[in-house]
Amino acid sequence: QVQLVESGGGLVQPGGSLRLSCAASGISFSMYAMGWYRQAPGKEREWVARMSSGGITNYADSVKGRFTISRDNAKNTVYLQMNSLKHEDTAVYYCNAQRFKNYWGKGTLVTVPP
C-alpha cells in the first residue's frame, strides 16, 4: 500500500521560512520523480516543484529562487524548503510521486497572513 505523508506545515509570518517533508512508503522511492503541488482556497491545484529520480529539479516561476526541493533516498523522503514566504503562498501543499502512476499525499496546510 502506497502512502505519502506530508508534514511541516503551519502558520508563518511573511518573509519567514518553513520546510515541508513527505515520507513515502510502499514504493521504490529512488525510482520515482517526486513533486510538490499546492492548492490555494478557491483555486485549482498547481504544480510547485519537481525532482526527477536522477536529481534534476524544476520549479514554477512563482517560487523559483525562494523554494528548494530535495530528496533523501535513504529515508524515502522529499523536502520542500520554502523561504521568503508570501501571503500568496498560502495553500494546502501536496506531495506527489510519479513513475508509471501518480500517487498523492493528503496535504499539509501552509498559512502566511497578509
Q: Show Cβ contacts of residue 62 under 8 Å, excluding neighbours closer than 6 positions.
A: 88
CA atoms lying within 13 Å on the CB side of residue 91: 21
26-63, pLDDT tens digit by residue? 999 999 999 999 999 999 999 999 999 999 999 999 99
How big is the CA angle at 73 (ends 48 and 39), to the nearest 5 degrees?
A: 20
6-31, pLDDT tens digit by residue? 999 999 999 999 999 999 999 999 99
pLDDT score of 51? 98
pLDDT score of 95? 98
pLDDT score of 111? 98
pLDDT score of 59? 98
Which burial class, exposed, middle or buried, applies to 35 when counting CB atoms under 10 A from its CB (0-12, 13-18, 19+)?
Answer: buried
| Residue 75 Cα to chain centre, angstroms | 16
